[in-house]
Amino acid sequence: MNQYALKFSLLDKAAVFFATWSGYLVIAAFLVFLWRKRAAISKKAEMLTAVFLPAIVSRLGITVLVRNLHYRPRPYLTDAVNMLIDKSREASFPSGHAAFFFAFSLAVYYQNKKLGIAFLAVSVLMGLARIFAGVHWPSDILAGAVVGIFSVWLVRRFRAFR
């Protein structure tokens, strides 16, 4: 995918947007959804926890653990790639962006199906954009998605025991 980077300006701009900025819009859209929802503050706090807890577990827990056990260099460190966004020094595998946003989006899906599906679509586009931009391998994104989905399952399972 990266071979097409720097060849089509509009595609490059779309990739940069999805690779770097779309996540902020997803979070903002969820917060607006939550703010506008007619529910008690305690219900809103529970929804906030149900969405952010698996995302945090996936990104700051499982992803960090895997990266400490297995370092994989980013594509631009081992191959000639067309860079569209700033370089990161962190390990490539699994993708922290994919882990966080797939967990976040799936958790939102359990709160609101339509919004969750839209967020999952953005998460897929974000993952593809990060491959296109030269900062991840496809398997990094896939592994990040799996970590995110597993984190939602794990948190939901442990929260059910409360």
85 conformational bin, left if phi > 0, alpha if psi -120 to 50, beta if neither:
beta
Q: What is the pLDDT of residues 15-38, one digit of tens each?
A: 899 999 999 999 999 999 999 988
The parent domain of residue 66 ranges over 2-159
The chain-wide mean pLDDT, for the chain, equals 91
Task: Give me the CATH number covering residue 114.
Answer: 1.20.144.10
Q: Which residues contact 23 (CB under 8 A, 6 or more apart)?
A: 97, 100, 101, 126
Helix axes 41-56, 138-159, angle to 10 degrees: 140
Question: C-alpha 93: how far from its chain's center?
Answer: 13
pLDDT in the model for residue 80 = 74
Q: Which residues contact 30 (CB under 8 A, 6 or more apart)?
A: 51, 104, 108, 115, 119
Say if residue 105's pLDDT is above 60.
yes
Give the integer Cα–Cα distance in Å for 151 and 55.
7
pLDDT in the model for residue 131 = 92
Long-range contacts of 115-120 (CB under 8 A, 24+ apart): 115/29, 115/30, 115/33, 119/26, 119/29, 119/30
Number of domains making up the chain: 1
Q: Which of 5-9, 31-35, 52-56 has the lowest mean pLDDT?
A: 5-9
- Look-up: residue for tokens 């946003």? 101
- Output the 3-class SS for 79-132: CCCCCCCCCCCCCCCCCHHHHHHHHHHHHHHHHCHHHHHHHHHHHHHHHHHHHH
Q: What is the pLDDT of residues 112-156, one digit of tens each?
A: 999 999 999 999 999 999 999 888 999 999 999 999 999 999 999
pLDDT in the model for residue 1 = 76
